[in-house]
Structure 1
């Protein structure tokens, strides 16, 4: 039976910080992470999607968390094919980004991949890197070009633990499920299952497939009907009811039968909704969870 780790998709989200969840005296950067790591054994780092991580931050994250803690790190936007602002890159790489918009600059991509990987070094060395999460944009639909892009990403990320979340729903439609699962298994990557509203054209089905013996993931995005259209707060505003979480308990247990670790992460980042949902899910999962210091 694999370990089940429950946490949230950010410990630095402004809404969480302003909610009062962090106690007095622990509201600075160090205090927040230490407090979070006393409550949960895993966290997602989403800031690395918006800007390249640094070796310094990885060293600090490793130092401020107990042995056995896990960080799931989101891949930088340029690596997943998302639009990337020049300000997201170090100053010395910004001219190359401008050139890339006129003609693809593989040299820029090489450098960004190298810097991203180097920055994760301290997390890997300390055993705290859970996975690198590649969240691909909605325009990446199933097809030969998309499969080739996924293969290139995996080649560049050789040796990294890797997980994939698709935002185009067709990857997990009935006609593509088996091919998608087979591809991710071949690439040695973990498939990310998602919970989200199911009434929109862009809704990703809540399909659970374990494609790596090392890790399986579930990300709970909330069930707001403003997904894809509203502000960030509107898109993720949702308080999970116990019965909504209970739907996932047998699925998570089944995932733990096939993977060494299961990470259950809440992305309904409105106030303290994510940490409240994570605590509720932890209670529902019972004794099969892992505590922060285990």
Structure 2
């Protein structure tokens, strides 16, 4: 049985900080991370989707967490084909990415990757890196062009652990699921299982496939009906019930039978909903 780690997709979310979950006197960056890491063994870094990480932060994250703690780090938006503001790039690279450009050229992507990966190297060297999470937009539809794009992403990130989350439901629908799992196995990438509302056209089914022997990942986004239409807060506002969490207990255990390490991350980041759901899931899995 592989190790199961439960955590949340952010420990710095403003709503969490304002919720009172952090005790008085634990509101600075170091105290918050130490408080969080004393209660959960894994966290996701989402700031790296919006901008490049820094070597300094990687070192601080490693210093402020115990041995064995893991950070799953989101890939920068430019790598996954999401819209990216030039301001998100280092100043010296912005002229190479003018506003309005739909796709960055390979030279720019390679340079940005070099800086991104170099900034995360201290985290990897300290044994704190879980995986890089490549979350692809809904417009990445199944087909040969998308598969070629995925292969280029994997080639750029060669040697780094990689987990892939698709936002287009077609990747895991019907007969396509087997081909998707085979592709991720070929790419030496872990499939991300997703929990979300299942009544919308954009709903990704909760398919569980272990495509890497060392690692598997579940990301629970909540089950808000505002997905795809509401504000960010509305999309992720959801209080998981015990019954909803219990649906994932056999799935997570199945994943742990096939992977050395399974991470279960809650992304319903509204107030303290994610940390409470994570604590409840730990209890259901008899981890606490």
TM-score with structure 2 setting the length: 0.98
- 2:205 match: 205
2:276 corresponds to 1:276: yes
Q: Distance in 2 between matches of 1:267 and 1:203?
A: 16
- Following superposition, the deviation at residue 93 of structure 1 comes to 1.1
Q: Distance in 2 between matches of 1:241 and 1:103?
A: 41
1:50-75 alpha-carbon deviations (Å, 9 max, x no partner): 00001110000000000000000000
2:128 corresponds to 1:128: yes
Contact 1:99 1:105 in 2 (8 A): no
2:80 corresponds to 1:80: yes
State how many pairs are aligned: 288
Q: Could you say which structure has the greater relative contact order, defined with CA pairs below 8 angstroms and 6 or more residues apart?
A: 1
Give SS of 2:228's match: coil
Aligned 1:1-294 pairs, distance under 5 A: 1-98=1-98, 101=101, 104-286=104-286, 289=287
- Following superposition, the deviation at residue 105 of structure 1 comes to 2.5
- Following superposition, the deviation at residue 104 of structure 1 comes to 4.4
Q: Distance in 1 between matches of 2:102 and 2:216?
A: 39
1:146-173 alpha-carbon deviations (Å, 9 max, x no partner): 0000000000100000000000000000
Give SS of 1:72's match: strand
Contact 2:80 2:135 in 1 (8 A): yes
CA-atom RMSD, angstroms?
1.2
Give SS of 1:5's match: strand
Contact 2:9 2:43 in 1 (8 A): yes
- Following superposition, the deviation at residue 21 of structure 1 comes to 0.5
Q: Distance in 2 between matches of 1:61 and 1:134?
A: 21
Q: Distance in 1 between matches of 2:238 and 2:209?
A: 25
Contact 1:193 1:208 in 2 (8 A): yes
Q: Distance in 2 between matches of 1:85 and 1:105?
A: 15
Q: Distance in 1 between matches of 2:232 and 2:120?
A: 27
- Following superposition, the deviation at residue 106 of structure 1 comes to 2.1
1:123-180 alpha-carbon deviations (Å, 9 max, x no partner): 1101100000000000000000000000000001000000000000000001200000
